[in-house]
């Protein structure tokens, strides 16, 4: 589905985006959290665990689509797949808890929709594999991993959103820097999900067209 070189470049690039974001949480201190913590006993542990398993899902997700593993070592592929979907379930369910502590309605809804779609697409992929419908399985897991990658695309879009915000406001920041950041974080998840969805649909359609030509 992907060339080896471009896939590994995307993998390394994704790690370069995610690891700096995770860095403040390595100290396991609510004071270093990038988001406001109102409950150190529930919200923060849920957030830390959510981030950890999302990172595991990201790595396992990349490995799932490595052709050499999938074709030549199906047992390893199944083990990686199991690690992936368990990580998604844990991280996705914890995201629902984290959402309860988000004050901004738009941001809370975006995280809620993202978590539900993540769990749903992964579940559909797992169920189709159990039915031995591997063609459908691959489609659903591609969708699931596309949602996993919103963690990367959503953060990459923030500087672009800042630029657009700056241009639309006549090279001024009306509400100050904090207002601009808040506006960006209100839309980056939606935008990342939309862009990833378009890319996934295009990729699936392209693959299906290739199959038809072969037939």
Q: Region of 35 please: left (phi>0), alpha (psi -120 to 50) or beta.
A: beta
Q: Give me the chain's average pLDDT, please.
A: 88
Q: Taking the domains of the chain in order of start, what are their residue ranges?
A: 4-214
Q: What percent of the chain stands above pLDDT 70?
A: 89
pTM of the predicted structure, to 2 decimals:
0.87
What is the pLDDT at residue 11? 94
What is the pLDDT at residue 209? 63
CA distances from 162 to 40, 178, 184 (A): 31, 11, 7
Q: Which two tokens stand for residue 144?
A: 């699931």
What is the rounded distance in angstroms from the CA atom of residue 161 to the CA atom of residue 99?
23
Topology of the domain covering 4-214: 1.20.120
Backbone phi and psi for residue 192, each to the nearest 5 degrees, phi listed first: -65, -40
Task: Look up tokens 């959503």; give the residue.
Answer: 154
Q: Helix (H, G, I), strand (E, B), or coil: what is residue 171?
A: coil
What is the rounded distance in angstroms from the CA atom of residue 74 to the CA atom of residue 151?
28
Tens-level pLDDT at each residue, the chain (215 residues): 455 788 999 999 999 999 999 999 988 899 888 888 988 889 999 999 999 999 999 999 999 999 889 888 999 999 999 999 999 999 999 999 999 999 888 889 999 999 999 999 999 999 999 999 999 999 999 999 999 999 999 989 988 888 887 787 776 677 666 667 777 777 888 899 999 999 888 877 777 666 655 54
């Amino acid at each position: 589905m992907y060339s080896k070189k471009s896939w590994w470049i995307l993998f390394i690039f994704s790690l370069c985006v995610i690891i700096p974001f995770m860095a403040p949480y390595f100290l396991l201190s609510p004071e270093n959290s990038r988001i406001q913590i109102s409950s150190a006993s529930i919200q923060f542990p849920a957030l830390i665990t959510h981030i950890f398993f999302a990172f595991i899902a990201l790595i396992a997700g990349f490995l799932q689509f490595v052709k050499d593993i999938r074709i030549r070592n199906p047992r390893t592929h199944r083990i990686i797949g199991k690690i992936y979907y368990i990580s998604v379930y844990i991280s996705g369910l914890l995201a629902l808890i984290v959402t309860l502590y988000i004050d901004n309605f738009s941001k809370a809804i975006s995280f809620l929709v993202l978590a539900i779609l993540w769990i749903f697409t992964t579940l559909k992929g797992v169920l189709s594999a159990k039915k031995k419908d591997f063609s459908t399985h691959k489609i659903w897991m591609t969708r699931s991993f596309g949602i996993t990658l919103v963690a990367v695309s959503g953060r990459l879009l923030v500087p672009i959103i800042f630029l657009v915000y700056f241009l639309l406001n006549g090279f001024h920041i009306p509400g100050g820097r904090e207002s601009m950041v808040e506006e960006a974080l209100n839309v980056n998840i939606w935008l990342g999900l939309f862009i990833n969805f378009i890319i996934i649909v295009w990729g699936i359609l392209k693959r299906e067209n290739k199959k038809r030509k072969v037939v």
